[in-house]
Every structure is written in C-alpha cells, then in structure tokens.
Structure 1
C-alpha cells in the first residue's frame, strides 16, 4: 500500500492570490490530530502527528477500520455521536482512546467524516464562572441602547471570558474595508480603535470561509504545519477542511499576523442578513489555547451582537426617523391651492429640508425650477437631471458621491450627495448635501497591503498610522431619510396629477361651454334655415304648377320639361330639409324611453306603408318581436326608413321579399364589445351592396348610387343609426351584391329582464300582398 501526503505546495502569485485554495491546505495545526474516516469507518486520512498523542503511527493505521485500532466500543461511541443531531453541533465528544481522554469534533466533508481530536482540557471546571459571566453580560446588555455601546460591552465580555490580550469588534463597509468599531485591550498596548483596514487584508476566499465556519483558532502563530497523509489510490486526492478547527492557515495570513507581533488568535464571524457583517478578532501576544467550553462562550458573544444589530440600529436611527416623520407629517398636512404657484410655497417650506436633513432642494415642474437652501446653479441642476436620464435612473436614485456618476460638474463642494425622485412627465425633486471632508485613519497604507518580491507575495509589514483625506463625498443618507424622501415624492407626484387633472377639467369645462353655445347656435340656424327655406321652395312649386296649368298659353315642350325638373328639384330639396330637421331633433336622452311591443310598431308601420308595399308587390315575413325600451315615434320612423330602403333598392329581377327575424338570446356584439339582449334583423332580396361600404352607409349624406338612378337625401340610414344610439343600442349592415341586404338592430338589456335562454319565440309568417 502506497501512502502520500496531500500538502498544497502551490506558490501564491499575483495571478492566483485571489483564488488561493486555503480550504485545502493539506495540513493542520499541531495542538491536535486529524482522522478522515470513510462512511464504512475505514481510516482514509491521518495527520502525521498522531504519534504525539497516541501509541500509533499514521503508516500503520491508514486503511484500517476504527474498531481495529481503537476497539469496537470506541467506534460505537463515534457512530452514536455522529447520529445524535442534538449534541454534535454544540459540544465535542468526550472519549477515551488508549486510556487517554480526548475531546473530538466531527463533521462531514463530502463522503468523509473528519475527526479532530484535542486532549481533554479542564474547561468544565470553568463552566460555572463562564455561566456567571454570561448572566452578568446579558444583564448589562439590556442597559445599552446603541449598537456601539453593545459592541464595546461584547469586546469587554469576550476578553474577560477568553483572557486574550486584545479583543476587537471589526465591522465591514459595503466594499469589505474594515473598521475597528469597538475594542478592549491591555492598558500597555497601543489601541487600534477607529483604525481602518483595506479589504485586501481579508480576501474573498477568506471571507467565504468565515461564512461557512464561524470560529477560527490559531494557537501558536509560529507553529510548524502538520501534513495529512492518505492512501495513494486516486489522482488529486484531497480533503476539504473548510469546517475544520485545526485547519492550517494561509502562509500569507501567518506572515501578516507575525508582522503585527501577534502570537495567537481567535476569530468569530458576525453574520447578519446572510452577509459577513464583521468579526470578533481576539489577539494574544504569545501562544494561547482555550477550551471548547470557552470557545463556545465566546461564540455566544458574537451571537449577542448579530441578534441585536437590527434592534440597535433601529435605536440609533429612531431619533432621525422621528424627526423626518414629523417633517413629513407637517408637509403632507400643508394646505395649498391646486395651482402652479403652490410649488413655490412647498419648496420654500423649511420642513422640506428637515425631511431628509438636506441642505438644499429643487423641484422641477414643467419649464419652471423651484429652489430652496444651498443648491447648485440651474445649469448644474440641468446636468444632474440629464445625467440621471443618461444612467437610466428615471425613477429614483441616491448617492453620497455624485462624482462617480456625473464627472463634469466643475466642483462638488455644494453638491456631493443627492436624493433624486422622478415625478413623471419630466418633473422631478432633488435633495442636496454638500461635500463633507473626512479624515480616515488606516492601519498602514492601504495601497501597500501586498508586497511582491522574488520569493512571492507578502503582506505589508508596516502598520503605522496612515491618514487619508476623503473629498467629493457627502454624509451617507440614512434609511429613515430615504424613506421620508420617497414618501413625500410620492405625495408630491399625486399633487401634480391632481393639478393636471384640475387644469384639464377646467379646460374641458370651458370647451364644453363653448361647444354647448355653438350647438345652440347651430340648432337655431338649422331651425331657421329649414323653416325659412320651406317658404321659397313652396313658392317655386306653386309658380311652376300655375304656369303648367295656365290654359291661356300653352308653353312649349322644352319649357314644360324644365318646369317639371324645377318642381322635382324643389320637392327633393324640401324632403332633404325635412330629413335634416328630423336628424337634428333627435336627442341622446334616456328620459323619453319606454317599454314598447315592437309587434305593435311593425303593424302601425305596415298600415302606413300598405299602399306602397302593395304597389311594389312586396312580401313581409315576420317572427314574433320582443319588447324593448325605446321612443315610440322613433321606432316607427326607424322601421319605416328600413322598409323604404328595402323597397327603394329592390331588384328588377324578382319581387321584393323582406324577412324580419328576432332573438332574445344575450349576445356580445363583436363590434362594440357590449352585451345586447334583443336583436332584430331586416333581410331583403334587393340589389345589396359590397361589404366594404357597411360602415359608410350610416354616415349622413352618403350615397352609393346617383340621384338619377335612385332618389333620396342620403339621410335615412344615418337617421336610423342616431335613433339606435338614442336607445343605447347598435345597428349593423351586411350586404351581398345582387343578393340582398341584412340590417340588424341591437337593443340593450333591461335590468328587469331575467336574461333567460328558455324564451320561446314563435315564428309567424305574415303574407301581406
């Protein structure tokens, strides 16, 4: 059996430092030993230092079952611990191996159980003290209000429990640059409180491991890594130690800590909303190990912080939220008229600046710009608005460093931070904050965090105070300020909509008044013209008739023909004026509607037209017609117009037949998308028309034939459409050239109708010759 170690010997360079495989170092720290066990309990991995703790060597135990090396009882204890989901994640397994007491942590890595054993400590003797300290800490925690106070208390409590020389609460910003947010250390040590460290101090892969494994312990910075050996039975065989407590540390990190003079560390992850919020970093300036019980108590300190972050930040922001909320309440309660000048009043109100603790504000409405406080020039504001549109921030945008987005403002002293809200239709509101020059103290030059030489990469070795001046940046907008700005922008947008609606309403009211007056004038003109024109027409007809009947002188044939044409023209004009008068008199009103039996209307119409029907040898066939809501005389006019139309455009090839059918089945009209409960169809066998003219025939004065061929004013079907509109119905026509025409009338549902589909419609053929 061939055995090999799995130590990772790849050299870290500038091209691979971001991907240094720190989770598979292939080695561990020497204060414990490691076994990798297969699922059938065979030893597949073993650290070379096992002989320092037990009377075995790694070469002899690889490939053997646990029971063969440590006995069946030990294997059963390990098996029971692995399958006890309650105890395993919290407390290590206490076990006797070769008459020696160990504490073992077990976790699964792929298809391998990783056992990490350390000699049993006397930590249990300290449990009472740890418990008392924790109770006291919880009591003290309730007396803190801000997050900073809580973090300071945790730093003090963690140092008291663990005994490390320095405990820091390390908080990350959005880019993972770190700040020492709270600290407790020996009096003789130089404090790091307030120092900042670049994100390169803790690279991406390290942060990912902190998310997976929330506690990291280095007992002695000067340790020699212990290699892990395995059976050489496959290529690139390795072991993922992401969750290991003994995992060996990156050489670059070890060198970094040595440069700081640190001898041992304990690091606890602070995870908030699934993101690495910060770390509890414990430093000791000589080697130091702590028991699993103390480690657990320290980890509990970290959970105190993460469980309280939201609450403490809420307390920190409460006063701001209260003030902004008060300003928002006063602004929304402000009573201003719905007119353009009201935005001057709103913009000049000091509450608008208090709303989000801004120093200036501008409101752009139409082509007018309203400003208050410390604001940029109009030209700069126009550039900002154009920039927001260019970056497609056409709804809302916030920054405390405007220079990152708009690079040509010629100075950012008066405007480094903005809150921008679009109010629709090119309108917007912008709050401004000026530049706040900030001094940041770094623990060493952040630009020199990594050094490269002929031997590879190294961390910086200087941690002297390095100051950086931050310009072109305002104070960060807090969430309560952003919320208040968004709420008022929404309110203001509603105000603008109301203003526009008010203006539109006034405009339409004025137009309606003008239209009403115009219609009255047109009606008067129409009434006067139709009546006054009747008189000269009657005189023309009377004079022509008198000349034709004068027996003293017999006019020539040409004169008689001309007089007859004059009489016919006067008659046609008189009929046209009568039709126009009828058309304009129809009012779109429901007040005159009443329930009618259309069978009665049809019978009256037939009696009035009986003579012309007989003269044209026409036949009427009719079903039983429904009752509808309509105006009686208009329905009679409607039926008369349709029947006259069928007789006028009858075919010379056959006698006219007009069939009137009806239905009371509810139907959605495909043209108007409305439901109609009754429809009636007049179908004839006349000359018909091409379907492309189905809409135009209902327009006033529209004719498909010449006057010489077919008489008429071109008003009849337009009048029919207007009558159906008065009854809130619809009318459609279907034509087939040389075959006939179908005209369908659609009547709306009566609320009293049951809309039953069981109605029996008796067919009744009326043969009237």
Structure 2
C-alpha cells in the first residue's frame, strides 16, 4: 500500500495570486488532528500526519482501515448518532474516547467524506456556566444600547472578556470590501486601530468566500508548522480534500506573512453575515500564541450572532428619523393641489420640501426643454448636458451615485455642485426628468498603510505589505452617501411628478384639440356657406346660360355662322357639366350630415330600381347585367341605391365603344379582418377598360380622374361619393383593376353579431 501526502505546493505568483486555492491546502494546524472518513464504506481515506502525537497510532496504520476497526464499535455508534442529529451544526461538539484519550470533536461532510477534527479535552476548560453568565451580562448590555456603533463597542468588549485576546475589533466592509475598524477593545498598552481603514486586497475574494462558508477561523500560533494530510496513493493525481469548513485548516502563507508583518502571534476571526453578504468580521489578535477551547470559541461566535441579528434593527433605528422627515416632506408635496400648467413645475421646484425628501442641496426638473431649478445646482448648460448623458446612459430609467466623477466623461464641470445625484426619467419618449444634487463633501480617510502599496510584487512572487504606518487620504468629488429612505422618497415623488407631467401633457393635448375643433367647426361652417352658394346661387346663372344658348340654337330663321354655332354649343355643354358637378358636390357634402337610422335592405330590390332608372343608358350601351342572389344587408336604402347606381354608371362609362359591357354582381363568403370583425362582401365586376393597380386608392379621391375630360365625361366625384357612403355604413370599398381587362369593386358591409 503506497501512501502520499496531498500538500498543495503550488507557488503563489503574479499570475495565480487571485486564484490561490486556500480551501485545499492539504495540511492543517497542529493543535488537533484530522480524519477523512468515506461516507459509504467508513474507511479512513485521509489522516493528518500528527495523529501519533495524540493517540500513539501513526497515519500509516490508520489509513484504509474502518473507523470501527481503529477506535471501536461504541465510538462509531456515537459518531453515527452525531451525524444523524447534528451534521448541519458543524459547531456542535462531540466528546469521544479515542484509544484511551478524551477529545472534543466536530464533524462535517465534504464531498464523499466525513471530516472529523479532534482536539484534546481539558478539565481546566472554562465552565459552560461561566460562559453563560458572561453571555447573559452581554445581553443586558445589548438591551441598553440604541445605535449599531454602541452595540459593536459592547460586542468588542464582551468578546475580549470571554476570549482574553489582546485586541478585539469589529471590522466593517464598504461596498468595495475595503475595511474599517468600526469598534475596538484593546489592551491599554497597545496602540488603538479604531477608525483605520484597510484596502480590499488585505482580504482577497477567495478568503471572503471562505468566510461566508466557515463562520469561525482560528490560528493558534502564526509560527506553526503545517501538518500534512496523507491518503492512499491510488494513481489519482487530483485526489484532494476540501477543508472549507475545517477548524484546523492550514492558512495561506501570504496571510501568515501578513500577520508576521503586523507582529500578531494568534488570531480568531468570526464572520458577520447580513442579508447573505459578508457585512464584516470580529477580528481578535493576540501578540503571543493562544488557543481557545471549543466551548469558548462557540461563546465568542455567539457574539457575532448577536451583532448580525441586530444590524437591521439598529440601522433601521438610525435611519428612522431620516425616513420620518422624508415622508413628512413627501406628504406635503403630494398634498399640493397644483393646476395642470407648466407654471406648476416652477412652484414645485421652489418648494423646500422637494429638497427635504432626500436631503438634497439642489434640484432640477426638465420639462418640454425648460429647466425649473432651485438650490445649489450646476448651470443650465451643464444640467442639459448631464440630462442628455443620463438619458442615454440609463436608457431613460433611474440612476444614483455619490461619486459622479467615476461615471461621467467630464466630471470637472460637476464636482463642486453635483458630486452626488439622484436621476429619474419622467418620460420614455423625451428627455424630461428630475435630478437631485448633492455637493462635494471632502472626507479624510486614515489608512493603515498606503492602500496603493498593499501588495508587494516582484519577479520572485507576491508578498504582503510590511508597512502599516498611518496614511491620510483626502477624498474629493464625492458627496455624502444617499441613504435608502432618501432614495425611496425620491423614487416615490418622481412617480408622482411623472403623473403630474402626464396630466399636463394630456391637458395640453386636449386644449390643442379643442382649438383645432373650434377652427374645424368654423371652417365647416364657411364651407357650408360656400356649398350653399355653389349649389343655389351659381346654378341660377348656369340655367340662364343654358336657356339663352338653347334659344339661340333653336332660332331657325337666324343665319349664324358655323363658328358661332360651335361656340354656343360648347358653352351650353360646359354649363351642363358645371351643373352636374355642383349637384354631385351637394350629394357628397350631404352624406356626412346624414343621421338616419339603419334598416335591413334587400340589395336585389335596390339593384332592380337602379336598372329601371338606367334602362335607357343600358339599352344604348347594349349592356348585360348579371345580378346573382344577394344577401340582405343592414343599411340606408337611398344611400345604397346611390352607391349601386354610381358603380353601375362607372362601369358603363368606362366600357369599350365596340364591345358590349358585361357587369356581374355577386356575393362572396363572409370575411374577417385583423380585428376579427365580420364583413358581408358584395362584388361588382366589369369587362371595361380597367386601370393600373397603382391607382386603386387614388380613384376614390374627390375630383380624381385618370382620363381626360374629352375622353370620358364626368365630375370626378362619383367614386369618392361611393367611398363616403361606405364610411357612413362603417364599411370599406376596394378596387382591383387590370388595363383593358376590366375592374372589380368589392363592398365590405359589417355584419351585426348582436
């Protein structure tokens, strides 16, 4: 049986430092031993090399043996019972007698293995009653505090009393995972770290991820020698053991060097998880080696649970006053009964409440290319440029920042008045918006060492910094952070403002349409007067012209020249065409004022009347009309007669002079349009001269003609009249033509489904 260790010997260098596999170091710290037990076979697959220091059995004798074979049946029963009840509680303690020695153990599962970590049991362990008393005292202190800062101060003090560490810090992360010593309890002779900031590189990403999984991390002696883990060499080069949840897990050599540089001898770190994110740490430092019993560790970990359980409450208490004032200002703004006029935005912008809702120093409302502003703001030109950039950058949505210079192409124009902004678009179709502003707030940050030199890199590899001297940084072009209640109030009022803007737009549109309606009414009145003149006053002189020309042409005893007779005849024909045109115009304009009720009409009877009226013209053209059986339709009888008459006359007019016209009228199946409306379709086709299909819509325009007057006489109103009649019936008329082959007119009458 060949045995090998699984120590990770990869060198951390410039290319892989961000991916250091700190969860699989292949070694542990020496203050306990570790076993990896196969969860199916119960064989020991992994064993730390220091097991013989505790139970006088070496790792070679243990590997590939069952747990029962090595430690006895009773101890295996205890482990199995623990796994069935407490496996999810990796911090729960199990006391085992392993080969005659007592150990306090924790067990958790890692992939296919149960990892058992054993530490010697000591009778001098601090009594649980003492731990309980300290915890109870801490709870009483906690009830006496009101702010998160006071609570963290108390936690630092209580944790130091329980653990005895030289320094206990509450370490809080910002959004970029830079850390700040938020609270501290420290030995009197040591320099305090309270208020110092540490760059995010001090705790890299993979370390933060492990802090999310394993809430407690202990280093008993930074000068320890890592103990290798051994396993059976089965030819699998990738065989390893994930120690993410291990208490004994060996530490990254970079982190050990970092602690050496700080002069620290031992550490305890407790994760503070809030809303599924790493909020901070309880970081305990001791300046010589120091171990804690498992019970004390659990008591210390309980302090972390106290903090995380109170973060929301304490932050809510601190933000309550901000939210209360914001809501009062919001209620006042919403209670304003402002008219739907643009002047209302001027009144809103100048009201003090619009700044109070989010504690802004300035505000600008942009509507219809006008800027309404108050307070400390950039000038109009910069506001306009900023609104255009924000509209494009946010796709006309929302945006807020306390550091505009980090996003804007030309931040120098906005640094003083607008380092922080809240932006809300008010109209997806325009650049209308509201922007709140906050000015630059100069901030001094005390770093524990220059953050730009947090990591030392050279050709040999990567090293942690060794300088923690105070480094002061002045932060410019950054405003005070927007609190969540302020953002909520701004969003709520932006929604109200958007409704006010939409109401104003609707009111303006209504006013515009009202004025257009009045103009249209006046225009229609004038057109009616003109129509009256056209159809009455103008017809009288036309009748006189026709009468005089007829008399002249009827005098047989007068000897008129041929030229005179032709001129009089043309004058008479022109007067007749003008009279026909006036009559057609009168028919066209009267249709839009018809308000008669509809009734069921039989198109067969209507076509019978039309044929009777046009019989002389039909005989003259020798036309053949085929009228198939047509379904009844809801409509106005006299309008349908006019419709059918115009279509039949149109087919007769545009027929070939040497070819008998054939006109066919039939019905087709009921059809649906895109909106599922049902139509009864009548189709009238002929064998006349037809037309180009590109003119299929133009022929329905009033006065539209495709042929010269001397070719085919007419007013150009007939088909326009047909379209108007179909519109009155809420129907549609279409035309389909082919030159020299004929035309097809389809009439779509809506079917009443009631």
TM-score, normalization by structure 1: 0.89
Q: Which residue of 1 aligns with 2:229?
A: 228
Change (3 A) 1:735 1:120: same
Q: Distance in 1 between matches of 2:735 and 2:469?
A: 94
1:339 CA drift (Å): 2.8
1:534 CA drift (Å): 1.8
Given that 1:123 and 1:294 are in contact with CA atoms closer than 8 Å, whether structure 2 keeps it comes out as no
Change (3 A) 1:472 1:626: same
- Residue 369 in structure 1 maps to residue 371 in structure 2: yes
Aligned equivalent of 1:417, options 411, 415, 420: 420
Q: Which residue of 2 aligns with 1:484?
A: 489
1:654 CA drift (Å): 6.0
Given that 2:226 and 2:250 are in contact with CA atoms closer than 8 Å, whether structure 1 keeps it comes out as yes
1:354 CA drift (Å): 0.9
1:588 CA drift (Å): 5.2
3-state SS of 2:498 partner: helix
1:82 CA drift (Å): 3.8
1:216 CA drift (Å): 0.6
Q: Distance in 2 between matches of 1:606 and 1:172?
A: 94
Q: Which is worse superposed, 9-18 or 519-528?
A: 9-18
Given that 1:682 and 1:743 are in contact with CA atoms closer than 8 Å, whether structure 2 keeps it comes out as yes
- Residue 594 in structure 1 maps to residue 595 in structure 2: no
Given that 2:668 and 2:683 are in contact with CA atoms closer than 8 Å, whether structure 1 keeps it comes out as no
1:617 CA drift (Å): 5.0
Q: Distance in 1 between matches of 2:110 and 2:278?
A: 23
Change (3 A) 1:457 1:643: closer
Q: Distance in 1 between matches of 2:241 and 2:635?
A: 88
- Residue 621 in structure 1 maps to residue 623 in structure 2: no
Q: Which residue of 1 aligns with 2:185?
A: 184
What are the residue-to-residue correspondences of 1:61-100 with 2, within 5 Å? 61-84=62-85, 89-100=90-101
Q: Which residue of 1 aligns with 2:714?
A: 712
3-state SS of 1:238 partner: coil
Given that 2:91 and 2:106 are in contact with CA atoms closer than 8 Å, whether structure 1 keeps it comes out as no
Aligned equivalent of 1:334, options 333, 336, 346: 336
What are the residue-to-residue correspondences of 1:474-513 with 2, within 5 Å? 474-513=479-518
Q: Which residue of 1 aligns with 2:401?
A: 399
- Residue 343 in structure 1 maps to residue 348 in structure 2: no
Change (3 A) 1:749 1:448: same
Q: Distance in 2 between matches of 1:452 and 1:743?
A: 87
Change (3 A) 1:643 1:353: same
Q: Distance in 1 between matches of 2:277 and 2:268?
A: 20
Q: Which is worse superposed, 248-257 or 22-31?
A: 248-257
Given that 1:348 and 1:372 are in contact with CA atoms closer than 8 Å, whether structure 2 keeps it comes out as yes
Aligned equivalent of 1:569, options 565, 574, 577: 574
Given that 1:380 and 1:409 are in contact with CA atoms closer than 8 Å, whether structure 2 keeps it comes out as no
Q: Which residue of 1 aligns with 2:285?
A: 283
Unaligned 5+ segments in structure 1 are 755-769
Q: Which is worse superposed, 43-52 or 364-373?
A: 364-373
Change (3 A) 1:386 1:690: closer
What are the residue-to-residue correspondences of 1:602-613 with 2, within 5 Å? 602-613=607-618
1:110 CA drift (Å): 3.4
Change (3 A) 1:12 1:137: same
Given that 1:661 and 1:681 are in contact with CA atoms closer than 8 Å, whether structure 2 keeps it comes out as yes
Q: Which is worse superposed, 316-325 or 649-658?
A: 649-658
1:315 CA drift (Å): 2.0
1:475 CA drift (Å): 0.8
1:136 CA drift (Å): 5.1
Given that 1:32 and 1:117 are in contact with CA atoms closer than 8 Å, whether structure 2 keeps it comes out as yes
Aligned equivalent of 1:746, options 740, 745, 748: 748
Change (3 A) 1:6 1:415: same
Q: Which residue of 2 aligns with 1:31?
A: 31
Given that 2:387 and 2:431 are in contact with CA atoms closer than 8 Å, whether structure 1 keeps it comes out as no
1:100 CA drift (Å): 1.8
What are the residue-to-residue correspondences of 1:211-250 with 2, within 5 Å? 211-234=212-235, 235=237, 237-250=239-252
Q: Distance in 2 between matches of 1:226 and 1:742?
A: 98
Per-residue deviation, residues 507-563 of structure 1 (Å, max 9, x unmatched): 332232223222222221232133233223222222222222213235455544444
Q: Distance in 1 between matches of 2:456 and 2:407?
A: 32
Q: Which residue of 1 aligns with 2:681?
A: 679
Q: Which residue of 2 aligns with 1:759?
A: none
Given that 1:161 and 1:294 are in contact with CA atoms closer than 8 Å, whether structure 2 keeps it comes out as yes
- Residue 45 in structure 1 maps to residue 41 in structure 2: no
Q: Which residue of 2 aligns with 1:470?
A: 475
Q: Which residue of 2 aligns with 1:648?
A: 653
What are the residue-to-residue correspondences of 1:119-268 with 2, within 5 Å? 119-122=120-123, 126-135=127-136, 137-138=138-139, 140-234=141-235, 235=237, 237-268=239-270
Q: Which residue of 2 aligns with 1:580?
A: 585
Q: Distance in 1 between matches of 2:144 and 2:506?
A: 55
Given that 1:328 and 1:488 are in contact with CA atoms closer than 8 Å, whether structure 2 keeps it comes out as yes
Change (3 A) 1:404 1:660: same
Change (3 A) 1:620 1:388: closer
Aligned equivalent of 1:639, options 628, 640, 644: 644
1:163 CA drift (Å): 3.7
1:583 CA drift (Å): 1.2
1:696 CA drift (Å): 1.9
Change (3 A) 1:641 1:110: same
Q: Which residue of 2 aligns with 1:102?
A: 103
1:278 CA drift (Å): 0.7
3-state SS of 2:730 partner: coil
Change (3 A) 1:651 1:593: farther
Aligned equivalent of 2:271, options 269, 272, 276: 269
3-state SS of 1:49 partner: coil
3-state SS of 1:683 partner: strand
Q: Distance in 2 between matches of 1:561 and 1:123?
A: 140
Per-residue deviation, residues 210-247 of structure 1 (Å, max 9, x unmatched): 12212111122332222223333433543332221101
Q: Which residue of 1 aligns with 2:22?
A: 22
1:132 CA drift (Å): 4.7
Change (3 A) 1:304 1:663: farther
Q: Distance in 2 between matches of 1:529 and 1:123?
A: 121
Q: Distance in 1 between matches of 2:196 and 2:253?
A: 24
Change (3 A) 1:20 1:743: closer
Q: Distance in 2 between matches of 1:332 and 1:123?
A: 67
Given that 2:86 and 2:92 are in contact with CA atoms closer than 8 Å, whether structure 1 keeps it comes out as no
